[in-house]
Amino acid sequence: MAKLFLGLDSSTQSLSAVVIDADRRKVVYEKSLNFDQALPHYGTRNGVLPHPDPLVKHSPPLMWVEALDRLFAGMKKDGVALGEILAISGSGQQHGSIYLNDRAAGALAKLDPKKSLVENLKGVFSRPASPIWMDSSTAAECAEIRKKLGGIKATAESTGSDTFERFTGPQIRKFYKTEPKAYAQTASIALVSSFMASLLAGKIAPIDHGDGAGMNLMDIRKKSWHPGALAATAPDLKKKLPPLAASGKVIGKVSAYFVRKFGLNPEALATVWTGDNPASVIGLGLIQPGQVAISLGTSDTFFGSMQKCQTDAHGEGHVFGSPAGGYMTLICFKNGSLAREKIRERYGVKNWAAFGKLLAQTRPGNGGGILLPWFEAEIVPRVNRPGVHRFDLDEKDAAANARAIFEAQMMSMRLHSQWMKVAPEKILATGGASNNPQLLRVMADVMNCRVERIEVSKSAALGAALQAAHGFLVQAGKKPKWEKVVAGFTNPIPNSEIRPNPKAAKIYDKLIGKYAACEWEALKQIS
């Protein structure tokens, strides 16, 4: 019997599965289910429900429930040896929250395999929609909580981050303020990660220290619920939150629903899930402090491992617990892939290869042309009024705009990651857009650092599978070393290294000052 481990990733737009064979050190199966395409009856666009207020971004939790059923059915149909899976872990888009009533725990405990998961669970929500990480409608609640916790620096010191609109605490506070009855009927609040883990475990699952740190509710140093933050957020909150636990810790055996319906091994273990970014830290092998990665996905993220907990006094970056122990840092830029796509569509560019070629027709620095691509409200820098700003850039010039958007995204990363005080030797590039060599050339030159690609299209799901393997070994009384757990799975692509061009790097050393001034100017205009 093979030693298989399953990692799932419930992201904004899709649910993915990665199965690894621990002995052969190989990914043996990968599959993604796109919500808009596979589950059109929920009416989402890019996984999000339409809403008249552009700051509000909600998704239907039942869609995630149905996706899990469908994904397992797909794996069974594809002949995955589900009976040989020893443990399952997962990751979820961070910050999103699910509100469950007092019927949830009972329904989870006796999931009926003759019915679908949706039929089993449709009555367990005290709120039909879940605010997700793209939501930026809680500026007032952020200010209220921040004030009670003593300002930006103190909030970041206590919870790992300043209050952010998408973070779960401010979202919970808004729910309590606007729908007090529904809040009172909420018996349990879950994150996307802990909710999905609950389905597999058949019981309300703990929240881990990685995703838990994205709530503005966890004491980042003690890794326990922060009483001051709970009090600043909403009444009776402690009762509604599950316990905190280490990522990958075994919750118990997988629910009989999955055994009977899909043929999972009854001894297979369900473990604590984490956030997609913490899982990617594992999936990219960023085990040693100081190792960093840039992920070009729906959001663009800059993240890495950190030994000691060091918070950002300006409150732009985040510190989360790392599933590999210790801490990780993260800065999240909301206008990532979707913003690049908007520019590609605006100039009628067919595909990403053509986009890269177009960009390459221009010179590094774009003759000083700058584009601030805040199509959506931005997280870093904080922008609550979306809009695109151009400085010394001709809107009609397609090639210059193609270069400008990515240069701006990279300069923003460089500027806003200075607080980490990490001088990486190498950046690992990952995520959908990382297979575009022209983009990686800009990345290496702006960051003035070697860039290597890592061929993990699903780094979060792979990280989750590795976390399942680690959790399994811990449960068996072993003391697994993370280096050994990830070995063979997280090697960068051979010969993919791009070295910075010293001339181009010099251009960006200068341009970064202008870029910062443009940000100031645009922020002043819209404030």
Where do contacts with ligand XUL occur on this chain (CB under 6 A)? 11-12, 93-95, 133, 166, 214, 275-277, 299, 301, 330, 332
- Cβ 174 to ligand XUL shortest distance, Å: 17
Task: Look at residues 394, 346, 349, 335 and name the one whose alpha carbon lies nearest to residue 368.
Answer: 394
How, if at all, do strands 218-219 and 224-225 pair? antiparallel
Spatial CA neighbour of 379 closest among 227, 306, 508, 277: 277
Minimum Å gap between C-beta 410 and ligand XUL is 17
From the CB of 380, what's the least distance to ligand XUL, in Å? Answer: 10
Nearest to 192 by CA among 127, 99, 109: 99
Residue in this structure with the two tokens 């503005």, named with its chain if needed? 216
Three-state secondary structure of 347-404: CCCCCHHHHHHHHCCCCCCHHHCEEEEECCCECCCCECCCEEEEECCCCCCHHHHHHH
Give every CB contact of residue 499 below 8 A, 6+ residues apart in sequence. Answer: 444, 450
Please state whether the peptide bond connecting residue 381 to the residue before it is cis, i.e. omega within 30 degrees of 0.
yes
Instruction: Provide, rounded to whole angstroms, the least separation between the CB of residue 391 and ligand XUL.
Output: 27
* Residue number, 214 or 285, with CB nearest to ligand XUL: 214
Nearest approach, Cβ of 115 to ligand XUL (angstroms)? 30
Element (H, E) at 318: strand 318-321
Minimal distance in Å, beta carbon 272 to ligand XUL?
17
Q: How far apart are CA 8 and CA 15, in angstroms?
A: 7
Nearer of residues 380 and 393 to ligand XUL, judged by Cβ: 380
Q: What does the alpha-carbon distance between residue 136 and residue 57 come to, in Å, rounded to a whole number? A: 8
Distance CA 340, CA 353 (A): 13
Report in angstroms how near the CB of residue 195 gets to ligand XUL at its nearest: 14
Q: Please give the full DSSP string across 470-518, using - where no structure is assigned.
A: HHHHHHTT----HHHHHTTTSPBPTT--BPPPHHHHHHHHHHHHHHHHH
Min CB(368)–ligand XUL separation in Å: 31
What is the nearest approach in angstroms of ligand XUL to the Cβ of residue 276? 5
Closest CB to ligand XUL among residues 92, 471 = 92
Residues 6+ apart with CB under 8 A from 183: 99, 126, 172, 175, 176, 234
For residues 248, 250, 252, 256, the Cα torsion angle rounded to the nearest 10 degrees is 30
- 192 CB-side CA count, 13 A: 32
Distance CA 193, CA 96 (A): 9
Nearer to ligand XUL, 135 or 445 (CB): 135
How many angstroms separate the CA atoms of 85 and 18, rounded?
11
Q: Closest separation between CB of residue 134 and ligand XUL, Å? A: 8
Give yes or no for a contact between 298 and 337, defined as CB atoms under 8 angstroms apart.
yes
